Amino acid sequence: MSKQTLDRILQSQGFGTRKRCRQLIAHGEVTIAGETVMDYRVSFETTGLSFKLFDEAWACREHVYIALNKPANFECSRKASHHPGVLSLLPEQFTWRDVQPVGRLDHDTTGLLLMSDDGPFIHAQSSPKRHVPKVYIAATHDPVTPELIEHLLSGVQLHDEPAPLAAVSCRALDRHHLEIVLEQGKYHQVKRMLAAAGNHCSALQRSAIGLLTLESLGLKEGEWCYLEEDQRNLLVPGTSG
């Protein structure tokens, strides 16, 4: 990041067009270091910069990395069709910043969803070559049996897949819940694997990506937080430290 005029800073942070940002500044809505700044031409070093807009504190960020505890009945799409989009759960300026979901969860699947406006980060996290394990908690219609676990671990054949897909690990949590860890990220994979193994998935939650767990973030359904660098490192295989 670098030194920029205040209107450019606000625009980069998703607070609207340059014209709108200049209006906000002229109306005295922006405070930096306790001082109201009303001249959009004043420049500031963006690294480490914090400001208040409408009395709400913000830190200047070159990119945003977000973890959301996705509720059911929200679509992972910028152009939602049948249900509200997950972006509606975030402040409006993230839409201006072109924040996008990293991969997708089905509308009825809950749990950990990453979002960002950093294209290379999104691409890297979505790449199947990374082999990032994703942990899911599945509720099943029929009881979880040792045979079901073994079937999922040894691999099941899905329609249109050239080879069987196997779980990295799988264990029963109780009579109707299991934890399954996958690396492939195929379309509806958990649900399709359970169906192919002779059961039915009645509810699904993603509880972890890599070593980043939903529990450690402490997010209730619908809540979000920024991911700092140490948390993002938990997403990268081999950097658990």
Active site residues: 106
Q: Catalogue the long-range contacts made by 18-23 (C-beta closer than 8 Å, 24 or more residues apart).
A: none
Q: DSSP of the chain, one letter per residue? A: --EEEHHHHHHHTTS--HHHHHHHHHTT-EEETTEE---TT-EEE-TT-EEEETTEEEE--SS-EEEEEEPSS-BSSSS-SSS-BGGGGS-THHHHTT-EESS---TT-EEEEEEES-HHHHHHHH-GGG---EEEEEEESSPP-HHHHHHHHH-B--TT-SS-B--SEEEEEETTEEEEEESS--TTHHHHHHHHTT--EEEEEEEEETTEEHHHHTPPTT-EEEPPHHHHHTTSTT---
